Amino acid sequence: MQEPKTPRTPTVPSPEHVDSLATVLDLVRSGAARTRPEISRHSGLGRTVVTQRVNQLTECGLMEEGALGPSSGGRAPRELRFRARAGVILAAELGATSIGVGVTDLSGTVLAEREEAADIALGPDPVLDRVEILFDELLTEIRAEHGDVAVWGIGIGLPGPVEFATGRPSAPPIMPGWDGYPVRDRLTARFGAPVWVDNEVNTMALGELRAGSAKGQRDILYVKIGTGIGAGLVSGGRLHRGSQGCAGDIGHAAVNDEATVVCRCGNTGCLEAYAGGAALARDGLAAAQEGRSEFLAGVLESTGTVTAADISRAAQSGDRTSVELLTRAGRLIGSLLATLVSFYNPALVIIGGGVAAAGDLLLAAVRESVYRRSLPLATRELRIARSTLSDRAGLVGAAFMVIDELFAPERLAHWVAAGSPAGAPELVDVPLRAPLL
Ligand SMILES: [Zn+2]
């Protein structure tokens, strides 16, 4: 008969332990080191400590031994591999008019994904019902192919401000019914996994940082120009969320004293009320109705409306009014960005979102304004580039948000000490310091 197991009381790991465990995992995860001697060389940790940490990480299923690695004389050391398939992450990006869902492995590689039209304004119940159904479908698909993988965490991007600490939207202007809704609690209960929720612009910035055009950068600014305008800030390699989680909400910065244009937030003079996709569509419609653009009048007649995408197409075919609208929007965005560039000195500004993807004209106007209005030192090395992940940035970033949280040193040390995962990590609520990068 087996002895009854005495429950293991997790010991509180020392700070050195926390750091060395995370360092060893990060070196193998990033591919910077593949063998124990390489880990030792890169980290400065002694051989005994490296062996202990590797053993712990192997025991809990995060690492495995592979083929023989390169030998520097003597017996070749075994190569170590991060077990990216030890679990999966569910990620969703909810836009104003679409849902994107995906399943990734623990290295952020997308294994399956789905996208469909959806209206965020229907409210949290119908939208999250649909997200849950899509997650279930993808999991069935993945499990048929990869076996019974456990969900280690869930990441959700929403098109509005989110209080990151609680995973609840906070007075989101385009999301009626979502204010204070417990998105995190609902999905945790449904899938039995930890959930993190953030503004989609932050997940987009994170996606670009980990897997897109900002890979390897430390100071970037991601600007989304879609129906609205928002920005995500990465400072020193970390997402800067600010004290309440709404850093980067530049769409409602005042760019004009006129009290004539009222923004959807209720204020007047906001950047997005002049330069966002909805503003472009409004001005394009007026131009069509007032006979200032033959092209847009034709669009209005055949489709019954004018969209921001119509204005981009019109501009590309030489419609002067549309060229002016896009140039004016680009200049307004650019002059605000110039302030941010001076204030914050990023190395890279990435412009994403539907309106930015539609043509070069807007991006050219943004660039011109930023370079003209910023100090030479701030722009000497500055690159302003279009998003390379485009509409996938938010989904990939939502998965990386979860991965970053799971492997934050303190959490990692706790669940490794507690003997999980094998199934999925049991997370304890531990205070986090800044993640090691
Ligand atoms: Zn506003």
**What is the 268 CA–ligand 1 centroid distance (Å)?**
7
Supply the angle between the helices 393-406 and 409-417 in degrees, to the nearest 10. Answer: 60
Q: Which residues of the chain, if any, have pLDDT below 70?
A: 1-12, 68-73, 418-437
**What is the 72 CA–ligand 1 centroid distance (Å)?**
62
**What is the 240 CA–ligand 1 centroid distance (Å)?**
21
Q: What is the pTM of this model?
A: 0.88
**What is the 310 CA–ligand 1 centroid distance (Å)?**
24
Buried b (16+ CB within 10 A) or exposed e, 383-393: ebbebebebbb
**What is the 385 CA–ligand 1 centroid distance (Å)?**
26
**What is the 266 CA–ligand 1 centroid distance (Å)?**
6
**What is the 256 CA–ligand 1 centroid distance (Å)?**
11
Model confidence pLDDT, tens digit, residues 138-179: 999 999 998 888 999 999 999 989 999 899 999 888 899 999
> Which pLDDT does position 11 carry in this prediction?
61
> Which pLDDT does position 436 carry in this prediction?
37
**What is the 265 CA–ligand 1 centroid distance (Å)?**
4
**What is the 269 CA–ligand 1 centroid distance (Å)?**
7
Model confidence pLDDT, tens digit, residues 51-104: 999 999 998 888 998 876 666 667 777 899 999 998 999 999 998 889 999 999
Q: Could you tell me which residues come within 8 angstroms of residue 117 by beta carbon, excluding any fewer than 6 positions away?
A: 97, 98, 99
> Which pLDDT does position 334 carry in this prediction?
95
The DSSP secondary-structure symbol of 2 reads: P
**What is the 226 CA–ligand 1 centroid distance (Å)?**
14
Contact at 8 Å (CB) between 334 and 371?
A: no
Of 338, 342, 334, 346, the residue nearest 221 (C-alpha): 346
**What is the 384 CA–ligand 1 centroid distance (Å)?**
25
> Which pLDDT does position 158 carry in this prediction?
95
H/E stretch holding 339? helix 320-344
Please tell me the distance from the alpha carbon of residue 421 to that of residue 424, in angstroms, as a whole number.
Answer: 5
**What is the 281 CA–ligand 1 centroid distance (Å)?**
17
Contact at 8 Å (CB) between 42 and 33?
A: yes
**What is the 254 CA–ligand 1 centroid distance (Å)?**
8
> Which pLDDT does position 72 carry in this prediction?
65
**What is the 262 CA–ligand 1 centroid distance (Å)?**
8
**What is the 252 CA–ligand 1 centroid distance (Å)?**
4
**What is the 264 CA–ligand 1 centroid distance (Å)?**
6
> Which pLDDT does position 388 carry in this prediction?
84
Q: Could you tell me which residues come within 8 angstroms of residue 111 by beta carbon, excluding any fewer than 6 positions away?
A: 88, 102, 103, 104, 105, 142, 146
**What is the 258 CA–ligand 1 centroid distance (Å)?**
13
**What is the 237 CA–ligand 1 centroid distance (Å)?**
29
> Which pLDDT does position 33 carry in this prediction?
92
Calculate the average pLDDT of the chain: 88
**What is the 253 CA–ligand 1 centroid distance (Å)?**
7
**What is the 278 CA–ligand 1 centroid distance (Å)?**
12
* Cα 357 off chain centre by: 18
**What is the 214 CA–ligand 1 centroid distance (Å)?**
28
**What is the 173 CA–ligand 1 centroid distance (Å)?**
9
**What is the 244 CA–ligand 1 centroid distance (Å)?**
18
Contact at 8 Å (CB) between 328 and 194?
A: no
**What is the 143 CA–ligand 1 centroid distance (Å)?**
44
Model confidence pLDDT, tens digit, residues 319-346: 999 999 999 999 999 999 999 998 889 9
Of 383, 29, 340, the residue nearest 217 (C-alpha): 383
> Which pLDDT does position 61 carry in this prediction?
86
Q: Do the bridges between strand 151-158 and strand 162-163 make them parallel or antiparallel, or are there none, so unpaired? A: unpaired
